[in-house]
């Protein structure tokens, strides 16, 4: 194996083999909100959902916002990995693993939010048992669990060769860690047949996963769109939610990429070009989401049916205006301008920094957007004359924080135990590059037999 | 480090296994839809042999909005921690053992509504509308919300998972959730009470609940608690197929009442096919011809000013009464002016009248004529 290839492997494996003190601090810091959140959940299970700020009129609150938000975040894997894999975009190689990890974690955390929101989580098995096809919730559970399974497979499948590398590295250490790697590498030897089948598997999974992901978020949108509520019963809710999900998912991956890059010094593999490419995608999605938002609100406002207008007024000018305009300005307009600025001006590290900030703003903005989709539509009086108020209680706030902390913790642990960049794909890419250069060198050698090219580019010596 | 690793692995495996199990179970049960709720129903119905289910029946309400006064002039109901006045709500709370629910529940709620800027506000009692195409039932993932053969929509609290999507679906806000532990309320339930969806006590923590139409009473030939508790007799209940509605004092035909007073169903446009009919607020046709109607004609020449003042016997002005003025001439009687009295019960208009004409003034309040007067104009 060439030095270069070995070097790739070593850099990527480095975070796994060595753990800094900061890592333990991070884990500890994350365990605190998780602990409080767990305690909050126990209190909620004991005393009932009365410990939340929910009421008979606003019966869904930030748990449901979190649910949509995390499922949305999970779209990063589907988009970056499946779409870019299918379209054969070469530059996606160092990003796929990370995106796939985010997908799995996002779905898992999102799913736990539904369980937490339920009055009787102990009875959740009744949903598949009863299998009532006419209920949007049945489809919701079916699609989310399918999506989780699919993306778990999609996370583990391209990791098999890397698991084999890890298995071989830990062969003489032994222990549980070795056994796990051995199990996950599934007897990988790197033969041509194995390669062939794995690649087949990956393409099939990326083909399957895209429609599943689209369906999954459409069904989530349908939970709302299929009710009799002003502000929810909208025909564009399906695509609106799907675009929102891809949008926030792309922003999330940029944030994760930047952090991993800084922490582990992967500058060589995750380059400014990757950020600029993703930034471009993010900008297109931002424009699309902006377009959907304007369409949704403008048509409603122009027609100005009384119930619609009550909601619109509260959203744009009254009680929820703070949230709405925060989302609009800090979640859409400013990030949009920042990405444009990056596109025209920056080609160095500043591009990464700015895109990181823009993406963070987008992620926060999209959480707020989910909140103002759920809460005002419930707060608007349906029969009564008064708006209902909703203030999340400490239990809800801490469970939400625990959700975010859990998300980061699982991500950190995955980084700790699995190579976060795909070693074999990067090596393969490197091999192709060397191969191409060799060919070029030979071609030149034939042509100008006597002239020695300036310097052989082949590092394989 | 080893333990951390173990945790991740176990987590991942568990999540995968759980999701796989869910998917498989869902798939395996695809031909046994509603298996569970049928079982529970059968069980519930044997527990309550005195609640038969007759497909020929169709229970529903008729609510006369002109009678409901929101119990405004009564004291708050004693023992109700919310300190609210409506007796229907209180009676329902008392009999269904949910006085101490927190936040308070309103299986029947009385709203004060004002439909347009000019009309007066009125009180609007709202129980479950007992939809015949019930959104709540459609969206329920477990079949906990179900319709009996007689069309009554009920909830089986043994299989409700508390997802609350039914609350999102119900366009009438008639569903409530047990946020707190109903222990305090359940303590008031008689020991031997067996739960059934027809009489959903003792209550189940973490489930959704709503008006049960007192189906446990009506099959015994009794009226729901809210109906008998209403001091005004505003709520009528009965079998819509029989076209008879009773409020405990009188039995009235449903169709005729609807025709007479322009009855309607709330949010008809939702297509929910509710079983609750409302008679819009109308003033009672009591006073008849006994009210005082004064007509004064003044002025010279062809144009005369006609001033009308209308009072009830009590001295209150008749507001917004419809006034029609007819002119009697050699050719017959014709309406020459139409309008409404103002808040002082007055109506003033200028008319072309000949000295020999006589005019007839008719005053109507709602559909009932309350006054009639013939005046001969003499110079
Ligand atoms: S809360 Fe209960 S009754 Fe309502 S939809 Fe969910 S399972 Fe059905
Ligand atoms: S009024 Fe609401 S709770 Fe009652 S049947 Fe209709 S949708 Fe269901
Ligand atoms: S019909 Fe029975 S359950 Fe329904 S509001 Fe009246 S008293 Fe309550």
pLDDT at B1: 42
pLDDT at B278 > cutoff 70? yes
Give this prediction's pTM. 0.80
| Domains, in order of start, for chain B | 38-279 (3.30.70.20), 291-376 (2.60.40.1930)
Q: Which SS3 state, helix, strand or coil, does residue B319 take?
A: coil
Q: Which long-range contacts (CB under 8 A, 24 or more apart) does B373-378 make?
A: B373/B293, B373/B295, B374/B328, B375/B295, B375/B297, B377/B297, B377/B304, B377/B353
Is the pLDDT higher at B360 or at A37?
A37
Closest ligand 1 atom, CA of A119? 1
Residue B374's pLDDT band, with cuts at 50, 70 and 90, is: low
pLDDT at B15 > cutoff 90? no
Closest ligand 1 atom, CA of B142? 7
Of B23, B114, B180, the CB nearest to A146: B23
How many A from CA of B27 to the centre of ligand 2?
Answer: 30
Which two three-digit tokens encode residue B107? 């299986």
pLDDT at B373: 65
- Checking DSSP bridges between strand B59-64 and strand B276-279, what pairing results, if any? parallel
User: Bridge-partner residues for B293, per DSSP?
Assistant: B310
Query: Which parts of B250-330 are beta strand (E)?
Result: 251-253, 264-265, 276-279, 292-298, 303-311, 322-329
Residue B286's pLDDT band, with cuts at 50, 70 and 90, is: very low
Minimum CA distance residue for ligand 3 atom 3: B211
Q: Is B45 exposed, middle or buried (0-12, 13-18, 19+ CB in 10 A)?
A: middle
Which two three-digit tokens encode residue A319? 């009680």
Buried b (16+ CB within 10 A) or exposed e, B141-170: bbbbbbebebbbbbbbbbbbbbbbbbbbbb
Which residues have any ligand 3 atom within 6 Å of their CB?
B 92, 96, 107-108, 127, 211-214, 224-226
88-147 in A: which are within 8 Å (CB) of B? 104, 108, 117-121, 123-138, 141-142, 145-146
In chain A, residues with a C-beta closer than 8 Å to the C-beta of B84 are: none
From residue B365, give the alpha-carbon distance in Å to each of A71, B46, B298, B345, B369. 61, 54, 26, 11, 6
| Domains, in order of start, for chain A | 21-286+393-424 (1.20.1630)
Mean pLDDT of B357-366: 75
In angstroms, how far is the first alpha carbon of chain B from the final one?
113
pLDDT at B49 > cutoff 50? no
- Checking DSSP bridges between strand B208-210 and strand B153-155, what pairing results, if any? unpaired
Provide the ipTM: 0.83
Is the pLDDT higher at B274 or at B26?
B274
pLDDT at A266: 79
Q: What is the pLDDT along chain A (461 residues), one digit of tens a residue?
A: 567 777 777 777 777 777 778 888 999 999 999 999 999 999 999 888 999 999 999 999 999 999 999 998 988 777 777 887 777 777 777 788 888 899 999 999 999 999 999 999 888 888 888 888 889 999 999 999 999 998 898 888 888 888 888 888 887 777 788 888 888 888 788 788 888 888 888 888 888 888 888 899 999 999 998 888 888 888 899 999 999 999 999 999 899 889 888 888 777 788 888 888 888 889 999 999 999 999 988 888 888 888 888 888 888 998 899 999 999 999 999 999 999 888 888 777 888 888 999 999 999 999 999 999 999 999 988 887 788 889 999 999 999 999 999 999 999 888 888 888 888 878 887 888 888 888 887 877 777 665 555 665 566 55
Minimum CA distance residue for ligand 3 atom 6: B226
Q: Is omega for the bond preceding B256 within 30 degrees of 0, making it cis?
A: no
Q: CB-based contacts of A88: which residues, under 8 Å, 6+ apart?
A: none
Contact of A360 with chain B, judged by CB distance below 8 Å, is answered with no
Q: Which SS3 state, helix, strand or coil, does residue A66 take?
A: helix
B144 C-beta closer than 6 A to ligand 1 = yes
Q: What is the mean pLDDT of chain B?
A: 82
- B221-253 pLDDT, tens digit each: 899 999 999 998 999 999 999 999 999 888 999
pLDDT at B33: 39
Report d(CA A402, CA A400) in Å as an integer. 5
Write phi, then psi, for B308 (nearest 5 degrees): -120, 135
Give the number of whichever ligand sits closest to the CA of residue B160: 1
- B61-80 pLDDT, tens digit each: 999 998 998 998 888 988 88
pLDDT at B379: 38
Closest ligand 1 atom, CA of B143? 8
Q: Are A49 and B177 in contact (CB under 8 A)?
A: yes
Mean pLDDT of B30-49: 46
- B146-194 pLDDT, tens digit each: 999 899 999 998 889 999 999 999 999 999 999 998 988 899 888 888 8
pLDDT at B27 > cutoff 70? no
Q: Are A380 and A306 in contact (CB under 8 A)?
A: no
pLDDT at B355 > cutoff 50? yes
Contact of A174 with chain B, judged by CB distance below 8 Å, is answered with no
Task: Locate all alpha helices (DSSP H) within chain B, ordered by sequence.
Answer: 2-28, 35-47, 87-95, 135-139, 165-169, 183-186, 215-218, 225-229, 254-261
Report d(CA A85, CA A68) in Å as an integer. 26
pLDDT at B40 > cutoff 70? no
Q: CB-based contacts of A446: which residues, under 8 Å, 6+ apart?
A: none
């Amino acid at each position: 194996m060439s030095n270069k290839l070995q070097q790739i492997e070593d850099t990527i494996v480095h975070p796994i083999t060595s753990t800094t003190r900061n890592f333990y601090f991070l884990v500890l810091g994350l365990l605190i909100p998780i602990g409080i959140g767990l305690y909050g959940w126990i209190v909620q299970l004991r005393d009932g959902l009365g410990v939340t700020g929910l009421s008979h009129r606003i019966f869904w609150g930030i748990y449901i916002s979190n649910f949509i938000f995390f499922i949305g975040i999970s779209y990063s894997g589907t988009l970056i990995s499946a779409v870019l894999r299918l379209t054969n975009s070469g530059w996606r190689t160092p990003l796929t693993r990370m995106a796939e990890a985010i997908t799995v974690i996002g779905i898992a955390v999102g799913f736990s939010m539904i369980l937490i929101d339920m009055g009787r989580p102990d009875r959740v098995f009744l949903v598949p048992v009863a299998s009532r096809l006419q209920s949007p919730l049945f489809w919701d559970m079916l699609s989310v669990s399918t999506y989780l399974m699919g993306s778990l497979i999609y996370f583990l499948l391209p990791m098999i060769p890397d698991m084999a590398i890890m298995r071989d590295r830990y062969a003489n250490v032994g222990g549980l860690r070795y056994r796990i790697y051995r199990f996950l590498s599934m007897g990988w030897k790197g033969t041509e047949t194995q390669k062939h089948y794995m690649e087949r598997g990956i393409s099939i999974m990326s083909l399957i996963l895209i429609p599943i992901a689209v369906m999954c978020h459409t069904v989530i949108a349908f939970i709302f769109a299929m009710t009799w509520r002003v502000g929810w019963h909208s025909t564009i809710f399906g695509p609106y939610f799907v675009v929102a999900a891809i949008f926030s998912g792309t922003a999330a991956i940029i944030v994760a990429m930047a952090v991993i890059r800084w922490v582990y010094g992967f500058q060589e593999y995750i380059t400014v070009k990757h950020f600029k490419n993703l930034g471009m995608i993010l900008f297109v999605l931002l424009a699309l989401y902006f377009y959907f938002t304007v369409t949704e609100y403008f048509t409603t406002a122009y027609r100005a049916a009384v119930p619609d207008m009550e909601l619109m007024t509260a959203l744009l000018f009254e009680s929820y205006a703070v949230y709405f305009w925060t989302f609009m300005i800090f979640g859409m307009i400013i990030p949009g301008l920042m990405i444009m600025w990056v596109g025209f001006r920056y080609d160095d590290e500043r591009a990464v920094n700015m895109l990181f900030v823009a993406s963070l703003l987008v992620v926060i903005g999209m959480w707020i957007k989910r909140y103002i989709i759920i809460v005002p539509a419930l707060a608007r009086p349906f029969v009564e004359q008064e708006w209902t108020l909703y203030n999340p209680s400490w239990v809800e706030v801490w469970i939400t924080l625990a959700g975010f902390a859990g998300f980061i913790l699982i991500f950190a642990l995955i980084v700790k135990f699995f190579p976060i960049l795909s070693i074999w794909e990067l090596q393969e890419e490197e091999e192709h590059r060397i191969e191409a250069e060799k060919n070029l060198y030979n071609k030149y050698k034939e042509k100008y037999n006597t002239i020695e090219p300036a310097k052989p580019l082949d590092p394989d010596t | 480090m080893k333990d951390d690793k173990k945790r991740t692995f176990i987590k991942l495996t568990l999540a995968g296994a759980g999701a796989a199990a869910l998917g498989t179970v869902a798939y395996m049960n695809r031909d046994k839809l509603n298996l569970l709720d049928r079982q529970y129903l059968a069980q519930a119905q044997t527990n309550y042999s005195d609640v038969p289910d007759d497909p020929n029946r169709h229970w529903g309400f008729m609510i006369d909005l002109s009678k409901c006064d929101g119990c405004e002039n009564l004291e708050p109901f004693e023992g109700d921690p919310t300190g609210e006045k409506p007796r229907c709500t209180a009676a329902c709370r008392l009999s269904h053992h949910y006085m101490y629910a927190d936040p308070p529940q309103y299986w029947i709620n009385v709203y004060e509504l004002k439909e347009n800027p000019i009309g007066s506000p009125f009180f609007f009692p709202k129980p479950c509308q007992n939809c015949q195409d019930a959104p709540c039932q459609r969206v329920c993932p477990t079949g906990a919300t179900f319709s009996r053969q007689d069309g009554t929509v009920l909830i089986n609290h043994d299989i409700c998972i508390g997802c609350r999507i039914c609350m999102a679906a119900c366009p009438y806000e008639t569903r409530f959730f047990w946020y707190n532990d109903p222990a305090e309320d359940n303590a008031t339930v008689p020991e031997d009470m067996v739960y059934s969806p027809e009489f959903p006590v003792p209550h189940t923590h973490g489930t959704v609940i709503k008006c049960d139409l007192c189906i446990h009473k009506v099959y015994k030939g009794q009226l729901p608690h809210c109906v008998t508790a209403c001091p005004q007799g505003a709520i009528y209940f009965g079998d819509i197929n029989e076209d008879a509605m009773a409020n405990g004092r009188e039995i009235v035909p449903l169709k005729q009442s609807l025709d007479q007073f322009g009855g309607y169903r709330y949010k008809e446009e939702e297509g929910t096919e509710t079983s609750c009919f409302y008679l819009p607020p109308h003033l009672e046709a009591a006073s008849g011809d006994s009210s005082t109607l004064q007509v004064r004609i003044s002025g010279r020449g062809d144009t005369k000013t006609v001033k009308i003042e209308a009072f009830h016997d009590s001295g209150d002005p008749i507001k917004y009464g419809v006034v029609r003025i007819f002119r009697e001439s050699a050719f017959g009687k014709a309406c020459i002016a139409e309008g409404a009295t103002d808040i002082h019960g007055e109506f003033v208009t200028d008319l072309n009248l000949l000295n020999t004409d006589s005019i007839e003034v008719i005053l109507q309040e709602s559909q009932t004529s309350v006054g009639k007067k013939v005046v001969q104009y003499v110079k």
